Structure 1
């Protein structure tokens, strides 16, 4: 393209950037073009209607318009999400942040329009009714009110419109971060549709799909946000170098999320290497190839451009623009191939297998074998979200500890071991035996609950992750908010201080169990993957707050004295034991429609298993309680020893003036009593 060529300076020297790098807009058309070509190559749209005997083709506008609208919607939501995250975390308050929020509002408006067009065209596609038909409007109304696919599409349109309005209305990093939750919610809703909705392993497919969509959207949107930050009529902005450097590790994690989730999605839908020769397998290979190209471009950015951008000559800035343009174009192509994949039948059909067993009808997975001690460690059901979170948490913590060691600071090895144990245990709880048997046994669910609420938080609290973060990550000087600033803002915020108070944490910890198990929230967590994710996050976080209030090393609220801590601990655990006793002696089955209809040929009855779960809640709770009590007692003893040493040092300095003053006070009191 001639417009991309550097402009020669009047009298030699380094080349100048063009005022407007128009090649950046090539990403959108490239994505749309690749989407249409990939769909036609796969034959998913042209041959779909041949299999539907008795249905007519709704027309070329639907065949070609649906992939175009889908790509535009995905690119727009990506730009909106990336611009919001960049405004919250990458740039300082000022013109760059204001431009990002405006860009997010405009992108969300485009997203809303494209999602609306996608909804209409999708109904026409699945119903084989042309949009010009007389009864199209009536059918569309029923589609968005009665059919789950239509309801999801309408919800996404509403979320996109709300995102546009709020992004244009809010100002500042806090507002941008809150608004960024909306696109993530839309991606979570979207992950339940398409191939994931009909996959045999529904939870695995939905988790992998959300990880894939969120990682790709943040990656694509982050690149678009960099273009917004850097592009100005006069060249690059002052905050460009910092924004690019800060986005580099974010892009690396997005690359990992997209790659891992893509492998999981392909593994679910292909059974053998020969499936790679199918249209679906071909698109998977093309997407993997493009993803590898993106990884290479990102590595090139990190190695050759990011470190030199702040004080580089114009030729390096030009190299940055060229790499960004190519990267955006390849991202657009990946988006187009992703749309084609979503519209192509995989080798493993999405139809639910004809398994009429009650367990399969309820959980979407075959009934596991009868649990034994060995099977608690050999039965696995991978949860991509929490598996990725555990691996990422372990990697980040170890990198921070290594960073401290390289600069000569000491970080206790015991804390690193504690964090590693917590991450490994959390991975097992969410993807191992407790997760497998927690779906079919109340006692298995209670094992999972007790470990993630009472055992895992102990390891995490003793690892002091907030203290490590504050020491490993330098503070930003330009007013922007990075991980350090956001964590400090959360710790010192009004809500953070309130929720971390020992009494509040104890009430949430103990009362939350009653509110969860004796309300519809329990059944929602069993029947809905979003509810399951919320349950895991909620109980782990509440357990962390409670443990941190008692034995925490990290900064937090004003903790009471050690006697009060022990009293609070025993009061909370007494309530917890009472909860276990109620379950053990109860005769009313919780979530009866779930556990009562599991149809297990092995193990105790549902009510006997629930009573066993009460014993698990009571028994497992005793060990963490004992560990917490011992930890509080040890901290109390060490505190007294430190106070004694402090007094001894002060006595050495001032000749034990405090003791002399105390003896003098006693002598004056005795003298006064003698005179009386």
Structure 2
């Protein structure tokens, strides 16, 4: 029996008497005394409700997955005598393991999301004092009791996720080799092949992350630690997207990026609701506020899921008539109907259950949330069945070049082809839209309060994200796969031009001015989180310009001199990661080196001079190194592409080295412009 015991000061009292604890809501706990000790027994409704919900949700998910597998023909394939076959066990166990892994992953992410973002902080916890008389409202180090239970629940679900991922890896290997699992496990010659199969490797990566979460959730009790676990859990749901149908679709870059956004939206949406639905011991007033926060997040998740789903399907079902002319299309329509039902549930929450919850009644919210979660689980099962169903056969891939690139080989670069022949990258375009919309909303809020904000900063911010969009989604993105020199232009735009303009836009100062301040320290908002992050001790070295410069240098050396460049061309995951790293490391460096915006690191003049000297020198040395190479970076990739126009691979690489070295001139110009602007513009304080 779980009990919380408080000793009376006088130690008096004998026997057992049942009383209600006046300090705690009646729906949370009841009180008794045993031998002078006051005992609080939490009701076990949460456990029973969680168990019942888990059974119903898993049953609904498995049932719809089975229906989709049968309807799509994934489990009733005809076995031809003499040909290898994994057997019915693998055909059924593989999607079942996927269903369990997806449900457990959504629950893990959701409980950690609730603990890090939706839960109130304990009122008695200590806030950080920074030595200047100011206390940081967001600096509470420990999470509350409800958040602690959510973290422990995430640990248990991560253990289920781990087992399901390992089972999925085994059955995936069985499916790929078309042999029963028992034969695969007993054959020692198979094991060296494990890491050559992307579908198996990604599941092993997921299992490793799930194992780390299982152990970490047992010991983490801080807000920052919980946030780190949340980010790790979100990363853990991403690897399968790189080896599924999306990875083999036409325009696979768009399909994979859209699937990444789709998966993230689903797990945040589903998991957050799960945590709130099982928060039986959270006081109603706190649950109402947490649900209000979640409602805003759910609206964004719905938009993300819808947009990414449309982009994903565009590459698989074309023309649209395939929706009703194929079994795959009918399953897609069923999933769309389920998504529409979930959107309707969200609308009911906003109009009815959330107002009732704010009024003190939690019954309607709980009941609707439980029904919605069952529909969510069924939708996940339907999605798993859909993932095992082959899409309609499209036009066959014309050649190896198209299969490698995901699009046809572009012609010689012209201004028209670069500006008009776009290859959208959903992740960077989505990030640009959100960043611009948030910035404009902040400027509008300042102007409504009568506070000025220089137009040059807004223009700089907009220009920076236009550059990001051009570098990642215009025709230049297509040429980045076939020309080393085009890749260098992309890299310069992402690591130099865009970051410098972002810094001039002063987004941190704008956020600290525009975001509202939360008076209740139990419920810190985005402004308090940002302020806490800027003042954290670790931020002083994580966000230090020297660290950013070192990271950028290591990545550049690895890419151009250690063979990472060709791996990046073949791996969309690494491609996205390195582009993101270039943008982030460039921004962090110029953020500290120029010193225009609020920053935890404030280098002195000598340090800035050294940093700027390093920034000017690094492209020169890298460019000279590339010019001196006698072998081509990515030689095998370019040989397979067989580009029929333009300079040779080695000549184009030398052109890329020249671009890299000449970039120093543009770098110096932007540095001087930043220094002059910083000298003329007074640094505003945080609260200005």
TM-score normalised by the chain length of structure 1? 0.82
Once the two structures are TM-superposed, the CA of residue 631 in structure 1 deviates from its matched residue by 3.0
Contact in 2 for aligned 1:510/1:576 (Cα 8 Å) = no
Greater mean alpha carbon deviation, residues 432-441 or residues 62-71: 62-71
1:54 aligns with 2:87: no
Contact in 1 for aligned 2:595/2:678 (Cα 8 Å) = no
1:89 aligns with 2:117: yes
Contact in 1 for aligned 2:617/2:664 (Cα 8 Å) = no
Greater mean alpha carbon deviation, residues 145-154 or residues 274-283: 145-154
CA distance in 1, matches of 2:255, 2:82: 30
Helix, strand or coil: the match of 1:309? helix
CA distance in 1, matches of 2:495, 2:427: 18
Q: Once the two structures are superposed, what CA deviation does each residue of 1:43-90 show, in whole Å capped at 9, x if it has no partner?
A: 3222x345787355723x554444333222111110001111221222
Counterpart residue number, 2:265: 215
Once the two structures are TM-superposed, the CA of residue 609 in structure 1 deviates from its matched residue by 1.3
CA distance in 2, matches of 1:461, 1:450: 16
Greater mean alpha carbon deviation, residues 26-35 or residues 81-90: 26-35
Counterpart residue number, 1:355: 399
CA distance in 2, matches of 1:127, 1:596: 30
Counterpart residue number, 1:196: 246
1:339 aligns with 2:384: yes
Which of 100, 107, 124 is matched with 1:72 structurally?
100
Counterpart residue number, 2:5: none
Which of 434, 439, 463 is matched with 2:505 structurally?
463
Which of 89, 109, 120 is matched with 2:159 structurally?
109
Once the two structures are TM-superposed, the CA of residue 630 in structure 1 deviates from its matched residue by 2.6
Contact in 1 for aligned 2:250/2:316 (Cα 8 Å) = no
Once the two structures are TM-superposed, the CA of residue 525 in structure 1 deviates from its matched residue by 2.2
Which of 404, 407, 420 is matched with 1:378 structurally?
420
Question: Unaligned regions of 5+ residues in structure 2, if any?
Answer: 1-26, 29-42, 122-142
CA distance in 2, matches of 1:579, 1:126: 43
Counterpart residue number, 1:27: 57
Counterpart residue number, 1:612: 655
Helix, strand or coil: the match of 1:169? coil
How many residues are treated as equivalent by the alignment? 614
Shift in CA distance, 185/511, structure 1 to aligned 2, threshold 3 Å: closer
Counterpart residue number, 1:259: 306
Output aligned runs, 1:439-478, within 5 Å: 439-476=481-518, 477-478=520-521
1:527 aligns with 2:570: yes
CA distance in 2, matches of 1:494, 1:552: 19
Once the two structures are TM-superposed, the CA of residue 629 in structure 1 deviates from its matched residue by 0.3
Contact in 1 for aligned 2:288/2:357 (Cα 8 Å) = yes
Output aligned runs, 1:3-14, within 5 Å: none
Q: Once the two structures are superposed, what CA deviation does each residue of 1:454-510 show, in whole Å capped at 9, x if it has no partner?
A: 110122112211222222333443445653344333323334222444555555556
Helix, strand or coil: the match of 1:44? coil
Greater mean alpha carbon deviation, residues 425-434 or residues 595-604: 595-604
Counterpart residue number, 2:233: 183
Which of 368, 371, 375 is matched with 1:323 structurally?
368
Q: Once the two structures are superposed, what CA deviation does each residue of 1:184-213 show, in whole Å capped at 9, x if it has no partner?
A: 333222112221232233322222222211
CA distance in 1, matches of 2:614, 2:174: 61
Contact in 2 for aligned 1:241/1:309 (Cα 8 Å) = yes
Helix, strand or coil: the match of 2:321? helix
Q: Once the two structures are superposed, what CA deviation does each residue of 1:381-409 show, in whole Å capped at 9, x if it has no partner?
A: 22222222222222222333334444444
Greater mean alpha carbon deviation, residues 583-592 or residues 538-547: 583-592
Helix, strand or coil: the match of 1:239? helix
Contact in 1 for aligned 2:109/2:230 (Cα 8 Å) = yes
Contact in 2 for aligned 1:89/1:480 (Cα 8 Å) = no
Once the two structures are TM-superposed, the CA of residue 450 in structure 1 deviates from its matched residue by 0.5
Once the two structures are TM-superposed, the CA of residue 520 in structure 1 deviates from its matched residue by 3.0
CA distance in 1, matches of 2:658, 2:627: 6
Helix, strand or coil: the match of 2:149? helix
1:38 aligns with 2:68: yes
CA distance in 2, matches of 1:605, 1:330: 56
Counterpart residue number, 2:128: none
CA distance in 2, matches of 1:179, 1:49: 45
CA distance in 2, matches of 1:53, 1:471: 72
Counterpart residue number, 1:665: none
Counterpart residue number, 1:118: 168
Shift in CA distance, 31/408, structure 1 to aligned 2, threshold 3 Å: farther
Question: RMSD across aligned C-alpha pairs, in angstroms?
Answer: 3.2
Helix, strand or coil: the match of 1:523? helix
Q: Once the two structures are superposed, what CA deviation does each residue of 1:396-443 show, in whole Å capped at 9, x if it has no partner?
A: 223333344444444333323322222222112111122111111111
Counterpart residue number, 2:223: 173
Shift in CA distance, 512/42, structure 1 to aligned 2, threshold 3 Å: closer
Q: Once the two structures are superposed, what CA deviation does each residue of 1:352-381 show, in whole Å capped at 9, x if it has no partner?
A: 72513xx44654443211101221112222
Contact in 1 for aligned 2:86/2:174 (Cα 8 Å) = no
Larger Rg, first or second structure (1 or 2) = 1
